[in-house]
């Protein structure tokens, strides 16, 4: 079964591995030991010490909190901003910019590239801590915000990874 050094995986996920090597990895059977190497790489990059349990986006992680309530599974941005428990939609604790006026739309989609703001709006979900654009929704006005991903963490760790998930203290 394939297995790669952490350095190779680091370059691969950053898109800096030469294309030939990348293509070769994509065409091979997958390396089953990827997950925890991946987590180690991400852990080195974030500005918090809490243990990453699962990445759920480019800068978003479900972590087990080190501080009180210890072990609580919350969503954090890589900058340490905390969005609340992972079973709730992190977007509700973000800040938002909605592009529904011509001038703002034209900043991204000028002229004939534009959409009709009466039919659709662009919603930008931004981290209040570091201003990173975390997700963009293109939705009809009035459409509820999407809860992108609710992982079954216990099942994932216990049944798929064969590891114990760090215990979570009782939530308030």
* Least distance from another protein to the Cβ atom of residue 48, Å: 18
Nearer to another protein, 30 or 70 (CB): 30
* Least distance from another protein to the Cβ atom of residue 10, Å: 11
- 124-151: burial string, b at 16+ Cβ within 10 Å, e else: bbbbebeeeebbebeeeeeeeeeeeeee
Question: How far is 157 from 172, CA to CA, in rounded Å?
Answer: 24
Nearer to another protein, 68 or 107 (CB): 107
Nearer to another protein, 32 or 68 (CB): 32
Nearer to another protein, 71 or 126 (CB): 126
Nearer to another protein, 69 or 110 (CB): 110
Task: Name the nearest CA neighbour of 135 among 51, 26, 56, 23.
Answer: 56
* Least distance from another protein to the Cβ atom of residue 23, Å: 9
Question: How far is 32 from 37, CA to CA, in rounded Å?
Answer: 10
* Least distance from another protein to the Cβ atom of residue 11, Å: 10
One-character DSSP codes across 44-108: HHSS--SEEEEE-SSSEEEEE-SSSSTT-EEEEETTS-EEEETTS-GGGGSEEEEE-SHHHHHHH
* Least distance from another protein to the Cβ atom of residue 156, Å: 5
């Amino acid at each position: 079964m394939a297995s790669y050094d952490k350095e190779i995986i680091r370059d691969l996920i950053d898109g800096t591995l030469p294309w030939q090597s990348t293509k070769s990895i994509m065409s091979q059977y997958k390396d089953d030991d990827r997950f925890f190497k991946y987590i180690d790489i991400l852990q080195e990059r974030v500005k918090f010490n809490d243990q990453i349990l699962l990445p759920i986006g480019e800068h978003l992680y479900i972590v087990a909190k080190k501080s009180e309530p210890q072990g609580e599974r919350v969503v954090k941005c890589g900058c340490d901003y905390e969005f609340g428990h992972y079973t709730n939609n992190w977007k509700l604790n973000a800040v938002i910019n909605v592009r529904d006026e011509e001038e703002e739309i034209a900043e991204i989609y000028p002229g004939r590239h534009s959409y009709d703001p009466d039919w659709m709006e662009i919603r930008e979900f931004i981290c209040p801590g570091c201003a990173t654009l975390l997700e963009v929704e293109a939705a009809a006005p009035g459409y509820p915000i999407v809860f992108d991903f609710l992982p079954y963490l216990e099942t994932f760790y216990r049944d798929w990874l064969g590891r114990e998930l760090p215990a979570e203290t009782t939530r308030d």
